[in-house]
Structures are given as C-alpha cells and as structure tokens.
Structure 1
Amino acid sequence: MASSRRSALGALGSTAVAIGAVGAGAVAWGSLVERTRYTLRAFNVPVLPAGAEPVRLLHLSDLHMAPWQRDKQSWVAALAQLNPDLIVNTGDNLGHENGLSGIRAAFDPFRGTPGVYVWGSNDYFGPTPKNPMRYFGGPSTMPQRPKDLDTAGLGRYLDGIGLTALNNTAAVLDVKGTRFEFFGVDDPHRGYDRLDQAADALRTLPDEQGTDAVRIGVAHAPYRRVLDDFVDHGAGLLLAGHTHGGQVCLPGFGALVTNCDLPRQQVKGLSRWEHGEHEAYLHVSAGLGTSIYAPFRFACRPEASLLTLVPSA
C-alpha cells in the first residue's frame, strides 16, 4: 500500500513538473520570441468600382511604441518598400511618454504617402500596470491617474508627413483615379466617439457628380455600435484595431478575449459585418505592439496588413 502511494505521488510530481516546464516554455516563447516576430498579412478586398486600378492600403495599428524598441521601428520603416498607395493608422501609437521619437523613426519613410488616422486611448494616456485577469470580466477601464502623453505633438507629426485626422470627422482622398470618402471616430473604448459628428461631416463632403466613391469607416476600437453606424452610412470597408487579436490565443480555439463587444471569431483579419440590410468588409488588425507592462503574445503574432483594394465582381 505504501509503495502504491509513493508511486502515485511520484507520478503526480512528475506531471506537475512537466506542466510547469510547459508553462515556463510558453511564457518564455511569448515574452522573448513571439512578441517580436512581426508579420505582414495580405488580403484582397473587392470594394472598388468596375474598371478601377487596384489600390494598396497599408493598415497599421497598436504600435504601443517605446523609444528603445528599435527592432519594431526598423521593421515598420521597411514596409515603405511596399510602396503603399494609402496608409490607415487605427491608433494606440504610443506606449511610453517618449514614444514619439520611435514613431518618427518608424514613419519617416512614409512621408508624402496619403492616408488617415484616428486616436486610441494610448495616444492620450500612458500605460499602467494591470492584472491581465481583469480582461475576462469585460473591456478594460480607465486607470485612476494615467500619465498624459504628447497627443498634440503626435498629431502635428502625423499631419506633417501627409496623414489626415479622422477623429469624429470625414475627409476625401483621391487615389489612382478613385475617390475615397473616409469617416471616422475618436476612441470608442473611452467613449470619445461622436458618431453624429462623423455623419454630419460625411454629409458635407464636396460632391462630385457621376463619381463612384468608395466609403471607408475608421475607428480604433471595433465596438458594435460603431460598426453598425458605419455600415448604415454606406461604408463598404471598416478598419479597426484595439483587440491585439486577443494577444493570447489557444491553438485550435483562438482568442480568449476581445476587450470590446466584438464577436470573438472576428477579433482579427478580414470578415464581413452585417447590420439590417447593409453589410461591409471588416478588417481588424491584431496590431504590432503590447503594453510595456504586458510584453507577451502567444499564438498571435504582431502584424501589419496590406489590403489590395480591387474592383468588386
């Protein structure tokens, strides 16, 4: 009997050691390897008018940039070699009070490429330590005293390289003979979105008779209320970030959380969004960074996406 107990305890001990080793390996992989395995995703999106020339749209999101992250800065800068026709930045650029220096290093090669941007909360406020288990209770909330970031300086820089702010407003860009009507909102995760203001701005855009426009809705956080409103106002493509693709995923299952009310199966990549009688393509970027207080990704590589917009069938 004693021998059987010792055998059972030995087996349990061996199992615990094995589980601990697997857990330690997963943590090491996620914190030291995968979070810097930057990946470029590519999708064809059929939203252009018949006969239009394809347009290459680079979607960047959630860099959470700190000044010492030189590998991330170099990787993003090298994407300029793709010669995108458009850039869409869906926010959370800054991950440190001095993160703007890293953003300059990453984005300077794109100077002169047209595009648009919106803010996420980490364009306003610095990161703070959080218990990651809180995300299982629902979307994260604002810490009591976050550190203010240089939002104005970031805006001046992005404006200076040729991007246009879309925070609760709209803008027209003509690219390769196609008219793009962009409209967007400030960060929905913090309740800064003003969908009525964006819709009003959309209605006041200069009209061009006989021109087939492509309408694109842009937001940082893909909350249902925002996506529904974008689709109701005629958007054919919706672009967002914020979710980090779940950041920690289980192989064969996917993301555990989305940090908003987006369905888990649409946490990243290209899908379709429907509301009422309307529908559009939805692209959610898993983003390129993490909080400096949670530098970990598992089964969810950091990413940028190149969307080739082509004529619809």
Structure 2
Amino acid sequence: MVNSTIRKILAITSTTGAVGAAGGLALAAWGWSELRKFQLHEYTVPLLEPGTLGIGKLGGGASGRKNDFRILHISDLHMIPGQQTKIEWVSQLADTKPDLVINTGDNLSHLKAVPEVLRALGPLLRVPGFFVFGTNDYFAPRPVNPFGYLLAKKRKVSKVELPWQGMRAAFLEHGWLDATHTRREIKVGPVKLAVTGVDDPHHDLDDYSRVAGPPNERADLALALSHAPEPRVLDQFAADGYHLTLCGHTHGGQLCLPGGRAIVTNCGIDRERASGLHRWKNMYLHVSNGLGTSRFVPFRLFCRPSATLLHIVEKPAYPS
C-alpha cells in the first residue's frame, strides 16, 4: 500500500514538473520572440514659451515645421553582431524627422559590436545629437541567472573592457556632443538648448559637482541626461531647474507583469516610473524602455523594446 502511494506521488510530481518545464520553455520562447517587436512611443510635452517656434511666422518652426521640436530618445541598444532586424528598425527612425537625437547609453553588449551600432545609428548621426554612456558601454556584460534579474540586486561589472573610445570618437566625428560632466549650449533651428549630463550613477560614476548650477536662463529648453534614473541625481537636476531629464537603464522592467507593470527597475526609481513620461518634482522625466537586453538575459515579457519621439511644443498662450 505504501509503495503504491509513493509511486502515485512520484508520478504526479513527474507530470507536474514536465508541465512546468514545458510552460517555462514556452514562456522563454515568447520572451525571446518579443526582442524583435520594436515600438515607437510618442509624447507631446508643452515646455516652450509661446513664440519660440515662430508659429504663424513665415519660415518659422523647427526644420520647416511650425508646431513642434522633435527629440528622438534612444537607449540601451545592447548591440551584438548579427542583429540585422534591430539595425534596420533603428535606421528607419530617421524617417520621423527628429530635430535632435538623445542617446542615453548602454549601446554595446559585445566586443565586436561597434560597427553594428554605427550602422544602426548611421542616418541619425546626421542629426544634431547628445549622448552619455552607461556602464555596459565600458564593460562587457557578465553571465547571470536570467531570473536573478528579478531579485533587484546590483550586479558587479565585468573586467572585460569594451571599445567605447572608438565609438565615442565616431559619435564626435559625426557631430554628436558628449554631455558627460559638461554643460553645452547650442541652437537647433529656432530653439536655444542648454544640455548637461552625468556618467552612469548606477555604479557611482557620476560627479554632479562638475555640472552643478542652473542652466542658462536664456535657454528655451534645458535638458539633463543620465543613463540611470537614480533619484539622487534627478533631485539635483530638478533643483537646478532643468525642464526635462532623459534616462534609460531600466529596460522598462524587462520582465513585467501584464500591462507592462514593472516588477523591478534595477535602480532607485520607483516601479511606476520604470518607463515613459512622468513628472519628477518641478521637471519632466522620460525613462526609455530601451531597444535591447543583456545578451545573457535575452527575454522581454509584456515590455517590448522601444524608442521614443518627444514632441516638444509651446505652452498655451493664456490671455492676461
């Protein structure tokens, strides 16, 4: 009798394990297939003073448009050789006709990926742009347990250096500007920009003292860049009066619950602001879902890879 009961328990356990394994494989296959289902998110943000774009004036507006200034935000490419679908999708983002491109880092995930990054970004490098890097631009990813991602523990960087210097040189050669620990002021179309940024604060590479202080008050639009949306850095940008901060790093949660609800953010930002456009004190904050993943965790659940087009428009002109 006892032996019969044991055999039944073992049979049930074996069946349950087989069903669980099959379900796990199906979930992994689905998560892997989501990596190539890219999306473009769009938001309209009223940040410019009335008249900045020359609306209603002959020849006014950015790049011949009269109603918006377009910022294309890309982040977390995590490129490895052979990702042709990603290269083609990112390249066609030039068709959105951005006025400015912002790249918030983690472009690389492989020692030989720089040419692939430049192929993907090629048409966008002809557009004015700014960038900051993330830790995975400097160091290769490490093998991890895919489900360890859900434990929300900071992972140590590897000791394998990536060829970020050559990638940075290529960005600069094409006209993009490095915003890391510097303050930049340029004019793009009719819009006067003040831009600053810090190195990746998730691994304490930032030094805010090098860029501290309010942006030029004559700037029409003050932008701050950081790879990771760590609250201590966001608080400093907000206190100094920046209008909009752009970040990446979170992958939108990457392995999410239905509805894109993040389980973890892999940094200090709250789960509700793991991706998308939000308010942070007196400024706007945009956190990108990102376009890739670590090559050792090649899955996304309820969180497709994306880029974002931000339509910066004039504030409503209210009568006095």
Q: Tell me if both proteins adopt one fold, taking TM over 0.5 as the criterion.
A: yes
Contact 2:130 2:178 in 1 (8 A): yes
| TM-score, with structure 1 as normaliser | 0.88
1:79 aligns with 2:93: yes
Question: For 1:273, which of 280, 288, 301 is the aligned residue?
Answer: 280
Deviations, residues 23-77 of structure 1 (Å, cap 9, x unaligned)? 321111111x101111111111111111233111000000011121111111111
Cα distance in structure 1, aligned partners of 2:25 and 2:135: 32
Contact 1:221 1:241 in 2 (8 A): yes
Equivalent residue number for residue 103 of structure 2: 89
Q: Which runs of structure 2 are paired with 1:4-19 in the superposition (5 Å)?
A: 17-19=18-20
Contact 1:64 1:95 in 2 (8 A): yes
Question: For 1:99, which of 113, 119, 136 is the aligned residue?
Answer: 113
* Residues 1:7 and 1:133: Cα distance change in structure 2 (over 3 Å): closer
Cα distance in structure 1, aligned partners of 2:154 and 2:36: 24
Cα distance in structure 1, aligned partners of 2:8 and 2:153: 46
Question: For 1:238, which of 239, 245, 253 is the aligned residue?
Answer: 245
Task: Please give the secondary structure, in 2, of the residue aligned with 1:307.
Answer: strand
Cα distance in structure 1, aligned partners of 2:219 and 2:74: 26
Cα distance in structure 1, aligned partners of 2:258 and 2:270: 18
Cα distance in structure 1, aligned partners of 2:96 and 2:34: 23
Cα distance in structure 1, aligned partners of 2:7 and 2:87: 55
Equivalent residue number for residue 50 of structure 1: 50
Q: Which runs of structure 2 are paired with 1:201-212 in the superposition (5 Å)?
A: 211-212=218-219
Equivalent residue number for residue 131 of structure 1: 145
Identity %: 40
Which ranges in structure 1 are unaligned for 5 or more consecutive residues? Answer: none
Task: Please give the secondary structure, in 2, of the residue aligned with 1:249.
Answer: coil
Which ranges in structure 2 are unaligned for 5 or more consecutive residues? Answer: 54-67
Contact 1:63 1:287 in 2 (8 A): yes
Question: For 2:189, which of 176, 198, 202 is the aligned residue?
Answer: 176
* Residues 1:212 and 1:172: Cα distance change in structure 2 (over 3 Å): closer
Cα distance in structure 1, aligned partners of 2:9 and 2:259: 32
Deviations, residues 158-206 of structure 1 (Å, cap 9, x unaligned)? 1112210011111112122111111100111121111110226x66x6x
1:60 aligns with 2:74: yes
Equivalent residue number for residue 22 of structure 2: 21
Farther-moved stretch of structure 1 (233-242 vs 48-57): 48-57
* Residues 1:102 and 1:237: Cα distance change in structure 2 (over 3 Å): same
Farther-moved stretch of structure 1 (226-235 vs 4-13): 4-13
Farther-moved stretch of structure 1 (128-137 vs 161-170): 128-137
Equivalent residue number for residue 174 of structure 2: 161
Cα distance in structure 1, aligned partners of 2:88 and 2:260: 32
1:186 aligns with 2:199: yes
Contact 1:52 1:310 in 2 (8 A): no
| TM-score, with structure 2 as normaliser | 0.87
Task: Please give the secondary structure, in 2, of the residue aligned with 1:109.
Answer: helix
Cα distance in structure 2, aligned partners of 1:249 and 1:21: 20
Question: For 1:290, which of 280, 293, 305 is the aligned residue?
Answer: 293
Task: Please give the secondary structure, in 2, of the residue aligned with 1:254.
Answer: coil
Cα distance in structure 2, aligned partners of 1:132 and 1:34: 16
* Paired letter, 1:35: L
Structure 1 residue 252 displacement after superposition: 4.5
Cα distance in structure 1, aligned partners of 2:148 and 2:209: 32
Structure 1 residue 81 displacement after superposition: 1.4
Cα distance in structure 2, aligned partners of 1:129 and 1:39: 27
Contact 1:169 1:199 in 2 (8 A): no
* Residues 1:6 and 1:123: Cα distance change in structure 2 (over 3 Å): closer
Equivalent residue number for residue 70 of structure 1: 84
Structure 1 residue 14 displacement after superposition: 6.2
* Paired letter, 1:84: P
Structure 1 residue 303 displacement after superposition: 0.4
Equivalent residue number for residue 225 of structure 1: 232
